[in-house]
């Protein structure tokens, strides 16, 4: 059974900003990035495709600017809406984690 879980409130995420949340699973769980643009929220694994590091500069704190998130390790840049790579030393984008918004709450899909 695939159970949807509430991850946070939309308002917990700064507009055009990002937070991290942990998804628990039977294999120990993993951390995802939630990014917001207005009423839309986008989820991605917190793992840079360059060297597999987390994108945050300290746990849960991310560099964002002009609708993009920037990896704190070597500066790879990705769009908030699609996770596509814009610039930097990797060849691919962020791995999407489907989420949905219902009544101001963010759920794993
Ligand atoms: S690990 Fe993200 S740019 Fe190198």
pLDDT tens track for 32-50: 999 999 999 999 999 999 9
Residue 1 has pLDDT above 50, yes or no: no
Dist CA 68 CA 107 (whole Å): 22
The average pLDDT across 49-77 equals: 97
The pLDDT value recorded for residue 70 is 98
Whether residue 82 is contained in a domain is answered as yes
Task: pLDDT band for 5, please (50, 70, 90 cuts).
Answer: confident
Range of the structural domain that residue 54 is part of? 6-108
CA 74 to ligand 1 center in whole angstroms: 5
CATH of the domain at 39: 2.102.10.10
The pLDDT value recorded for residue 24 is 85
95-107 burial, b for 16+ CB within 10 Å, e for fewer?
eebebeeeeeebb
Structure tokens at 58: 């300290």
User: In the chain, how many domains are there?
Assistant: 1
Task: pLDDT band for 3, please (50, 70, 90 cuts).
Answer: low
Atom of ligand 1 nearest to the CA of 52: 1
CA 89 to ligand 1 center in whole angstroms: 7
Q: Cβ(94)–Cβ(49) under 8 Å? A: yes
Whole-prediction pTM value? 0.92
**H or E segment at 65?**
strand 63-65
Whether residue 74 is contained in a domain is answered as yes
Whether residue 21 is contained in a domain is answered as yes
Whether residue 53 is contained in a domain is answered as yes
Atom of ligand 1 nearest to the CA of 74: 3
Dist CA 52 CA 99 (whole Å): 22
Average pLDDT, rounded, for the chain: 94
Dist CA 65 CA 9 (whole Å): 22
Whether residue 1 is contained in a domain is answered as no
Residue 65 has pLDDT above 50, yes or no: yes
């Amino acid at each position: 059974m695939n159970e949807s879980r509430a991850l946070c409130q939309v308002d917990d995420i700064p507009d055009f900003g990002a937070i991290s949340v942990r998804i628990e699973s039977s294999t120990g769980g993993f951390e995802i990035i939630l990014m917001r643009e207005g009423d839309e929220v986008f989820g991605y694994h917190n793992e840079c495709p360059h060297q597999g590091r987390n994108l945050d500069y300290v746990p849960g704190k991310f560099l964002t600017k002009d609708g993009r998130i920037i990896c704190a390790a070597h500066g790879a840049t990705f769009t908030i809406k699609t996770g596509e790579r814009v610039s930097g030393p990797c060849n691919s984008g962020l791995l999407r984690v489907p989420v949905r918004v219902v009544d101001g709450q963010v759920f794993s899909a």
